Amino acid sequence: MKLSIIIINFNTRALLQACLQSVFEQTKSFDFEVIVVDNGSSDDSREMLAQHFPQVRTIFNIDNLGFAAANNQGIQQAQGEFVLLLNSDTEILDRAIDKTVAFLDTHPHIGIAGCKLLNSDGSLQPSCEHFPKPRDYFFESLYLDRLFPKNKFIGHFHLTWFDYSRTIQVDQVMGAFLLIRRSVIEQIGLMDESFFFYAEESDWCWRAKQAGWQVCFFHDAQVIHHCGSSADAISAKMLVQLHESRNRFYRKHHRPGTASLARLFMMKGAFIRFFLWGFLAIFYTLSFQKNARAAAKKCRSFAVVVSWYVGLVKSEGQKRLRRISKNQ
């Protein structure tokens, strides 16, 4: 079999249905299988799959195992020469999967490839990144990468200056659409399940590059990534998880001193954003502006992140690892 497509679902019934429909409509060049791993959904995703997509292989978990662990379940059952990790909130456009598989097929030195991601309105979405340096977190905390998007020094992490009209080697691609060779997985191993959510694809790309493989952004294929456009609106819980995963990535792949410096920049960034959004919330409230509620919500979210840094709260990933250790 040429390709195994693995989709993780958690209460995204409507998005999942649209995603699967686009996969079967737009993928025609080879034999493939689709494996949906459901992370304990409480909606009617199971019934929808049984009714509309009986050809899809399914794995139903009782609890939310996280992105890496659920993908590993699918990978271990996959039979394809290539494995595609695909978000349930994506829609395939213009034979994107066919094109990306063909691209990898003709470039044997490339181990992982991603494609162009679009927002729901068709605008461009960040689709690849550099591995971050500690200073990048400071620039990010002050929104300097947004204020100076063409500056390659400030925009290093998120590649805000990147030319998406060409195919080029990068450090990492997004997990919303990540195509990897089975031979790469056999060499570097499965995803690291200590990453509950966020940075697991960064870890995978890092390990692939360390093993001598190239990671590439392929410009000639594109998909819609619906929820990717709402990254600024993520919950406080997920914001904490983002910081926990970024710190975990640095501890795993860098020297202790570098990891400590990165943590310091991330923690300072969380404090800066907490005070920034708190000031804006007060200012908007006193001036009767409609943005007051949104600013207050962001202030509360970063207050939770600050609480995590000082040890008052745990991330979802930390809670899961604790449950696992208790059950062993």
- CATH at residue 175: 3.90.550.10
Q: Is residue 15 part of a domain?
A: yes
CA dist., res. 150 & res. 244, Å (int) = 29
At 139 the pLDDT is 93
- What mean pLDDT do residues 96-111 have? 98
At 325 the pLDDT is 62
Indicate if 100 and 51 belong to the same structural domain.
Answer: yes
DSSP characters for 180-200?
EEHHHHHHH-S--TT--SSSH
Q: Is the pLDDT of residue 37 over 50?
A: yes
Indicate if 31 and 175 belong to the same structural domain.
Answer: yes
CA dist., res. 184 & res. 188, Å (int) = 6
- What mean pLDDT do residues 111-127 have? 95
Q: Which two tokens stand for residue 175?
A: 């997990």
Percent of the chain with pLDDT over 90: 87
CA dist., res. 257 & res. 208, Å (int) = 24
CA dist., res. 89 & res. 125, Å (int) = 14
CA proximity to 96, closest of 29, 148, 154: 29
Q: Is residue 217 part of a domain?
A: yes
The secondary structure of residue 132, as a DSSP letter, is P
Indicate if 122 and 9 belong to the same structural domain.
Answer: yes
Write down which residue in 195, 230, 265 finishes a domain: 230
State how many domains the chain has. Answer: 2
Residue given tokens 């990897």 in the structure block? 180
Q: Is residue 151 part of a domain?
A: no
Q: How confident is the model at residue 327 (pLDDT cuts 50, 70, 90)?
A: low
Q: Is residue 89 part of a domain?
A: yes
Q: Is residue 146 part of a domain?
A: no
Indicate if 250 and 226 belong to the same structural domain.
Answer: no
Indicate if 111 and 253 belong to the same structural domain.
Answer: no
Indicate if 200 and 321 belong to the same structural domain.
Answer: no
At 230 the pLDDT is 41
SS3 69: helix
Indicate if 212 and 321 belong to the same structural domain.
Answer: no
Q: Is the pLDDT of residue 232 over 70?
A: no
Indicate if 63 and 199 belong to the same structural domain.
Answer: yes
CA dist., res. 46 & res. 64, Å (int) = 15
- What mean pLDDT do residues 30-34 have? 97
At 328 the pLDDT is 53
Q: Which two tokens stand for residue 306?
A: 């600050």
CA dist., res. 263 & res. 276, Å (int) = 20
SS3 319: helix
Mean pLDDT over the full length of the chain: 93
Q: Is residue 213 part of a domain?
A: yes
Write down which residue in 184, 215, 230 finishes a domain: 230
Q: Is residue 66 part of a domain?
A: yes
Indicate if 41 and 9 belong to the same structural domain.
Answer: yes
Q: Is the pLDDT of residue 96 over 90?
A: yes
Q: Is residue 152 part of a domain?
A: no
At 144 the pLDDT is 94
At 228 the pLDDT is 56
What crossing angle do the helices spanning 236-253 and 292-309 adopt, rounded to 10°? 40
Tell me which amino acid residue 234 is.
I
Question: 291: how many CB neighbours lie within 10 A of its CB?
Answer: 13
By the 8 A CB rule, do 101 and 2 touch?
yes
Indicate if 205 and 251 belong to the same structural domain.
Answer: no
Write down which residue in 174, 202, 230 finishes a domain: 230
Indicate if 226 and 238 belong to the same structural domain.
Answer: no
- What mean pLDDT do residues 242-265 have? 96
Question: 298: how many CB neighbours lie within 10 A of its CB?
Answer: 20
Indicate if 199 and 268 belong to the same structural domain.
Answer: no
At 46 the pLDDT is 92
Q: How confident is the model at residue 225 (pLDDT cuts 50, 70, 90)?
A: very high
- Bridge partners, 22 (sequence order): none
Q: Quick one: how far is CA 190 from the chain centroid?
A: 16
CA dist., res. 284 & res. 230, Å (int) = 22
pLDDT in tens, 150-169: 999 999 999 999 999 999 99
Q: How confident is the model at residue 7 (pLDDT cuts 50, 70, 90)?
A: very high
For residue 301, the enclosing domain spans 234-327
By the 8 A CB rule, do 80 and 179 touch?
no
